[in-house]
């Protein structure tokens, strides 16, 4: 069976714009944390590049951990079924936790994740997302630190993928299947 061929669109968000926004968010997180240590929880695999960019700009102590959560599989639309594939290695009770996500689309995954992590009694729990796609929202979710708002197109780059492709692009662009 032949691989799907994808066509990339024009750049939607440049590498420079991403870096500038990450610096702003890093400074805001540092202000909000007021000298407290935070635990940044990156949601694998898409959030890795964004998380690295943001934490480089945080001036308070930061520790990191990762979770792998899926509601997509190889599809381009959320299935609505959330699965935790890799859980945290770190206990979060009494800690300031920031969930770092690549994109908030339907909101189902993050809503589930926020509820699950809240039950572990962190001191605070906030969300930092590179992209917000409100047109697709099916669950109400508040994003404390949002990078950019995007329209209802499938996008790749800067950690986001389709079939594990295009994560390495240093910018955000749309993609269509041919």
Residues 6+ apart with CB under 8 A from 96: 33, 36, 37, 38, 39, 122, 123, 124, 126
Q: Residues 106, 136: contact at Cβ < 8 Å?
A: yes
Please classify residue 127 by burial: count the beta carbons closer than 10 Å to its beta carbon, then call 0-12 exposed, 13-18 middle and 19+ buried: buried
C-alpha to C-alpha distance for 1 and 146, rounded to whole angstroms: 39
C-alpha to C-alpha distance for 172 and 100, rounded to whole angstroms: 17
Q: Is 32 a catalytic residue?
A: no
CA distances for 19 relative to 41, 144, 175, angstroms: 19, 18, 22
Select which of 89, 102, 105, 152 is catalytic: 105
Q: Residues 173, 155: contact at Cβ < 8 Å?
A: yes
Q: Give catalytic residue positions.
A: 105
């Amino acid at each position: 069976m032949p691989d799907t061929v994808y066509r990339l669109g024009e750049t939607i968000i440049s590498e420079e714009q991403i870096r500038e926004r990450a610096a702003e968010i890093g400074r805001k997180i540092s202000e909000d944390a007021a000298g407290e240590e935070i635990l940044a929880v990156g949601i694998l695999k898409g959030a890795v590049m964004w998380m690295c960019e943001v934490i480089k700009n945080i001036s308070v102590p930061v520790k990191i951990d990762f979770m792998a959560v899926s509601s997509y599989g190889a599809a381009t639309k959320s299935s609505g079924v959330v699965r935790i594939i890799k859980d945290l290695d770190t206990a979060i009770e009494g800690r300031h936790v920031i969930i770092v996500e690549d994109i908030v689309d339907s909101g189902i995954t993050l809503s589930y994740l926020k509820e699950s992590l809240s039950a572990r009694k962190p001191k605070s729990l906030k969300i930092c997302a590179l992209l917000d796609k409100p047109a697709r929202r099916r669950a109400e979710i508040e994003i404390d630190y949002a990078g950019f708002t995007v329209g209802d197109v499938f996008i790749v780059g800067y950690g986001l993928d389709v079939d594990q492709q295009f994560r390495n692009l240093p910018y955000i662009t749309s993609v269509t299947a041919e």
